[in-house]
Structure 1
């Protein structure tokens, strides 16, 4: 690339677009986000109060209050190590391809194509299934919120909803969460600003109300931090680990924001800061949300048996003693769920688009296009929506479908995050990170080891059924969805990839 000179004859500082060209791509997206906007997007992608609310059954079944509180703290520290690991690498390779591009760029030539293929498919599949999990959880959560109102017999008014009714609610939510990013992309940063204030005000109202009213009394601090009442039937240690899925799901979006690298002005600086800052912000928000709720938990065994696996509406109603009041307090979480769906759909479309422009997805010619009118990868956005709607049909076969969506999303994203870290640490000795603006040296190496260890634990852990007594409705179908995506990617590699896939265009590293 020719060097650009200032009027005084001195070279200009490289721009984000020129750096992107050096990495092998032409800038096609508008760079309209600031550092804080990326941090806020990290917060929205996680939407911690909402995410923890829709997956609270995992920790309650796993061990109750202690599992919920200490599991969150443990996973937050682990995910901080993951965030640091990704931030270091992103400061060197800031593209919308995220961990997929980074894995390709860091890998030696003998394994470059295969490692990037595995990472790319894991990353795209993780984005799609996490978006699906978010939207499906919003549907289940909304139905359970309706159940705070009871009929004359004392049953929730939506307790007898048919499967198709819940699915139709999911379809409506999915359409909304994809239509807004499609036609109002320029307004998304403002929606994220709104979400921050909405979260603070709404969650504060929930926590103050339930603690002050505490209709059925408050638990002691000793009970909150030490009570361990596993309901899973597994041995205590394994039960605690399975309960970690609540926290892992809440923080699973850690690296998804790397897909926005081509929409910020200084991605090599802004995005790494946002990844780490987002984790710290979410960790504090999660602790501030979970601990007050733990003080007003009703009977753990009763909460673990709720058919929808959505205990928070029951908890809020128990604490307030009033159906209308409980529903009003739950509205902020419902809205936050919708906003989280917007952020996840946006990030998923960018990840799919970035992978498609290297020809790695069947029909890449369609999915790599940037729509001239909306100025976003609209086709990729629609592809993600269609796949999510189709996978949602699993719910007709099992009421435990949400376990599959949330579990496999965490598995895929964790695997994709670990791929560039494994290559950087074990095959390259972290030598490429010397060029980055975010290099923590020995501390970074420690974080890399933790990141890899977490991946090795998460894959088998979150494929396991929540309860030891496995039935059609308690079976964890995450492994089925996981194997399905693996088979599709392997088949496409055999049919097309092994002869045609070359990966991103970049200057080769020393091998």
Structure 2
């Protein structure tokens, strides 16, 4: 074994893997008299716990919802939805968007239950891929995952900065928004979000819970206010649910609804937030999937927050649907909204509904606060994703990004590098807002792509052989979920590259394909030399899948998982296939 290569649980001094006996399980320490199974599973996965498990099921749900913030995402892009598919397209394409992300999230939830580590997608890609391709696929997944989250965070900051200045212009029509004004607000928002993540790291669970309640209250107040102020001058239900007037220039209604689907998808992205926080929650093999998919039947007799958590995508759909319908009922003049003087359709919609500048400003301020919570949550999740990848030396100067601040108990440097990237990247829209938005829209492709890569790999392997015992399993539906997720993602990539307006001009042309490929090539060029240095080291990473099985056998013996008595766990651990599988991925001849 080469000097400097890392040993993981399950590897001997020479880098060879041995199958331990049941008595050789990782040590399980007691915390408040309860067995610390979470740390034992983390040890079996190849890592040591470095951050406190301070999030409960509710606070993790609140964090995930803050990232998704579906009704905020829909409202911020409502102008595009109305232009592409009018009222009916904007409303009804919410359902396929939710279904799309929901099915993908089912696959992620199963993988999270099997391997509850903060690395998520890149970690799964490594242990599921063939030994020859595992390191490169894992490394590529880590790059597009982190890049996608960073671009998504930049997009949200850009939207909020536009809202702030639009409010100012709404109150003072003589004010002219200059790009550098917007950039300064953009920087302030990013710095504030990073500061909250650093200074308030130990208060994040309470903060996310408060924001969840505040967001729900804002939604209810906004909806009721618009309905009361517009009474009785509502649009007809027939118009709201059947009008399909296209204002984008396209004549094909099918194409228009596809564009509406892509537009609405923006409000459902971010279900991987719970994945990256798995090392900061108790009972992670159960709690994380429960937050991601809300399956109440996931067996759990260990201490866990309540069993009635609701799936964030369902919360998103349940909140955005009535809000979307309300918006369409109170619209007075579509052309005025699409050509809003402030450049923000939502503020014009609020004004048409309420008829009061003061009420409009108050609603917009509350909306901006909810959207700012999304920035804070994105920074939280992305810093964990970068930190986890840095533990495996995936990026240049990983020695900096993998450090945990003893004072704040969080990856301080990972937060700082994301803020620095976003601040520098924000200079793009000072020169060209279109160029900035094109790069940011590529984040959808990057994020969804990282969600699906591990699931696509599962289509070509034996799921029962590769996945260890897990509380949440898709069972016989696993292949179907993974197949649908993969096919839909391929179609999504095509849809994201369609021009949004007609006739097509150099100004409105969709350059997503070129931008995505360029971003990938740039990332590859920057990291190419680094990959040559870490490729061999990644080959030495010993993932203790057998140890994971053994740890979970311990749960079964204690009766913690009711359905365990129906599984021959010990037989599985001692199977020749299991040994060969782990050996092929972890063992390496002495160099």
- TM (norm. structure 2) is 0.80
Shift of 1:324: 1.0
Residues 484-503 of structure 1 mapped to structure 2, 5 A cutoff:
484-501=518-535, 502-503=537-538
Match of 2:259 among 242, 262, 266: 242
Instruction: Show the counterpart of 1:258.
Output: 275
**Aligned: 1:30 with 2:47:** no
**Which deviates more from structure 2 when the two are superposed, residues 304-313 or residues 188-197?**
304-313
Larger radius of gyration: 2
Helix, strand or coil for the counterpart of 1:374? Answer: coil
Instruction: Show the counterpart of 2:215.
Output: 199
Helix, strand or coil for the counterpart of 1:451? Answer: helix
Shift of 1:212: 1.6
* CA-to-aligned-CA distance 1:111-135 (integer Å, 9 cap, x gap): 2112112211111111111111111
Instruction: Show the counterpart of 1:185.
Output: 201
Shift of 1:406: 4.1
Instruction: Show the counterpart of 1:455.
Output: 489
Query: Contact conserved, 2:331 with 2:349, CA < 8 A, in 1?
Result: yes
Q: Using the alignment, how far apart are the partners of 2:215 and 2:47 within structure 1?
A: 37
**Aligned: 1:119 with 2:141:** yes
Instruction: Show the counterpart of 2:321.
Output: 287
Aligned residues: 501
- TM (norm. structure 1) is 0.92
Q: Using the alignment, how far apart are the partners of 1:425 and 1:307 within structure 2?
A: 51
Instruction: Show the counterpart of 1:139.
Output: 161
- Unpaired runs of at least 5, structure 2: 1-8, 10-23, 294-310, 546-580, 585-591
Q: Using the alignment, how far apart are the partners of 1:445 and 1:285 within structure 2?
A: 31
Instruction: Show the counterpart of 2:543.
Output: 506
* CA-to-aligned-CA distance 1:234-260 (integer Å, 9 cap, x gap): 332222212223321111101132111
Query: Contact conserved, 2:497 with 2:510, CA < 8 A, in 1?
Result: yes
Helix, strand or coil for the counterpart of 1:427? Answer: coil
Shift of 1:188: 1.1
Shift of 1:505: 3.8
* CA-to-aligned-CA distance 1:51-86 (integer Å, 9 cap, x gap): 111122221121111111111111111111011111
Instruction: Show the counterpart of 2:563.
Output: none
Relative distance call for 1:496 and 1:407 in structure 2 (3 A) is: same
Q: Using the alignment, how far apart are the partners of 2:504 and 2:329 within structure 1?
A: 31
Helix, strand or coil for the counterpart of 1:426? Answer: coil
* CA-to-aligned-CA distance 1:324-343 (integer Å, 9 cap, x gap): 11111222111101111100
**Which deviates more from structure 2 when the two are superposed, residues 407-416 or residues 389-398?**
389-398
Relative distance call for 1:4 and 1:106 in structure 2 (3 A) is: closer
Shift of 1:489: 3.2
Q: Using the alignment, how far apart are the partners of 1:88 and 1:55 within structure 2?
A: 32
**Aligned: 1:440 with 2:474:** yes
**Which deviates more from structure 2 when the two are superposed, residues 237-246 or residues 215-224?**
215-224
Instruction: Show the counterpart of 2:79.
Output: 57
CA RMSD for the aligned pairs?
2.3
Query: Contact conserved, 2:499 with 2:509, CA < 8 A, in 1?
Result: yes
Relative distance call for 1:466 and 1:215 in structure 2 (3 A) is: farther
Helix, strand or coil for the counterpart of 1:27? Answer: coil
Q: Using the alignment, how far apart are the partners of 1:240 and 1:137 within structure 2?
A: 24
Instruction: Show the counterpart of 2:68.
Output: 46
List 4+ stretches of structure 1 deviating above 6 A.
4-7
Shift of 1:491: 2.2
Match of 2:286 among 259, 266, 269: 269
Instruction: Show the counterpart of 1:153.
Output: none
Shift of 1:178: 0.7
